[in-house]
Homo-oligomer: A and B are copies of this chain.
Amino acid sequence: MQTYTPPLKDFEFILHDVLQVQSGDTPGYSDLDAEFSGAILEEAGKIARDVLMPLNAIGDTQGCTLENGVVRTPDGFKEAFDIIRDGGWTGLSADPEYGGQGMPFVLGTAVSEMSLSANQSFNMYLSLTAGAYEAIHTHGSEALKAKFLPKMVTCEWTGTMNLTEPHCGTDLGMMRSKADPVRDGTYKISGQKIFISAGEHDMVENIIHLVLAKIPGGPAGVKGISLFIVPKFLVNEDGSLGARNGVACGNLEEKMGIHGNSTCVMNYDEAEGYLVGEEHKGLRAMFTMMNAARLGVGLQGLAQASVAYQNALDYTRERLQGRDVTGAKNPTGTADPLIVHPDVRRSLMDQKSFIEGARAFLLWNATLLDAGELSDDKNAEGLLSLMTPVIKGFLTDKGFDMTVQAQQLYGGHGYIEETGASQFVRDARIAMIYEGANGIQALDLVGRKLASGGGKHVMAFFDLVKTFIKENEGDAALKADFLDPLKAASKDMQAAAMYFMSEAPKNPNAALAGSTDFMHLFGHVALGLMWARMAKVASEKLLEGTSDAAFYETKLATGRYYMARSLPETALRLARINSGAEPVMGLDAEAF
């Protein structure tokens, strides 16, 4: 049976000791003292643990069903949705003008991590709504915002994103869905969209679809795409629901995982739609939503790794099998617990050191997002934009790997659905694919983000690393275990960036052949930086004297593992990057 323990202490450590959000300049951060944020996270953790986690396996087993156009969610989902709505959790980071609580994104990120760990499929109904809210909030007219946002903030209505069509995923320029203008200023939307998460379900009275479509006569390709709101039920002037709109779920997909979320084929047949933002500028508006969504998907990688690890850890403590090679640890029992074995320990440390490093990395990025949005800090925004593909691609690749490692610790029992280890693997798998498959993230990083602003964002990242190392190199406790490996890894990353800069103008394939490697290289350096920062705080706490020495010593040991065993991967990634385009493109496409 799957269980979940909210990582409250780790949130406190990262938010208050490492990132020190309570003393940040960003508006709203001064409220984030340990007591206030601790109270919110504790309550959110209870809901994750007690309400969402028990529904996770049920969602996987039952899945969603479509009957006569109605999608039924798994038993208990509707009741859980009511609890979360009634508790006011849906509008945590939303604009108070539309009924939100206006809290910083960094707090919402911690709350989301817990919901995602406890039940990814369920949480997607909420996070898609938040994404749709964000796009309308940023690009919609005042009238559209007033009409749709309040009920989306409360999740009386949920939202969706409609991009993909059967013949076009990444390449949205080939889109066929069309939007014919009507004299009253509305549009008639027609076409078929696929892979629409939460596209239809029975937990709310209305669903607000955000749909990309082309207005006839507009520019070809992605420059002719516009964004529309298409509600499932039309909304009258007084806010009451009117006629059913021309949109329906045509089919539910059978998927590898996230069975509790309805993945719909959506058919639009002259459905009434309202333009969001300007004509033909739809892709930019949708990307507002996709950047936040990509952070959220990176968070899914972490969240699934975290819950899979917790369950596997429990199993390695309970399952008795074999003896410690250095002497029995449970001499009166029939065998020692699995956790005594070095290769089991290696796997647990891989998982633990990734999870805690990734958590710090994500929360740091959430503070950058807050700084960009609330303080209009352009440097923070630029750095976040550079790291967004790393968060999405690296954290979901690694997050999936970690769920596989967790499953492996169960032996044969991990392959049996009963233990729940398989669900974490199957659910984690989607995060590598949606919101831009990880190869696209790598392309975005190397082909666009790296050189953006003349390379100033990546220089800012290198400066952060260099400054941290310089400021702390007198600290003997940090030097050998943390600063030296970080310096070496950062040099590998600089060498890779140099290679791209010198080779790409001559041969773009030379850079793109190494794009996935660079995304991972960057991810490791970023987690290495986070571990160095965490180690600094932990060793200061231990020097000061603390009643909780065990917590900080565990942090240091976990960080040392990451630096000694995970970070050296940067050299391998650099070697691959330096091998250039030739090995990758050496074969003609026909020769495969």
Measuring CB to CB, which residues of chain A are less than 8 angstroms from any residue of chain B? 164, 167-171, 173-174, 194-195, 253-257, 313, 317, 320-322, 325-326, 329, 334-335, 337, 339-349, 352, 400, 404, 407-408, 411-412, 414-418, 422, 425-426, 429-430, 432-434, 437-439, 442-443, 447, 508-509, 512-513, 515-516, 550, 553-554, 557-558, 560-561, 564-565, 568-569, 571-572, 575-576, 579, 581-587, 589, 591-592
Contact = CB atoms under 8 A, between A and B. Distances in A.
12 contacts: A256-B426, A257-B415, A313-B592, A341-B439, A345-B513, A412-B437, A425-B429, A554-B591, A561-B584, A565-B576, A565-B579, A572-B572
Given A345-B585, A584-B345, A412 B591 contact: no
Contacts of A340: 589
Contacts of A592: 313, 339, 348, 352
A569 B515 CA distance: 18
Contacts of A586: 557, 560-561
A322 B512 CA distance: 14
A194 B411 CA distance: 13
Contacts of A571: 571-572, 575
A433 B418 contact: no
B513 A346 contact: yes
A550 B592 CA distance: 11
A13 to B, nearest CB: 15
Given A254-B417, A342-B512, A415-B433, A557 B439 contact: no
Contacts of A581: 342
A192 B224 CA distance: 66
A558 B587 contact: yes
Contact of A512 (B325, B425, B430, B587): B325
Contacts of A400: 404
A349, A415, A433 interface centre (most CB from chain B within 10 Å): A415
A439 B347 contact: yes
A99 B313 CA distance: 50
A583 B564 contact: yes
B415 A255 contact: yes
A575 B583 contact: no
Contacts of A438: 408
Contacts of A569: 572
A482 B123 CA distance: 50
- A322, A434, A438, most chain B CB atoms within 10 A: A322
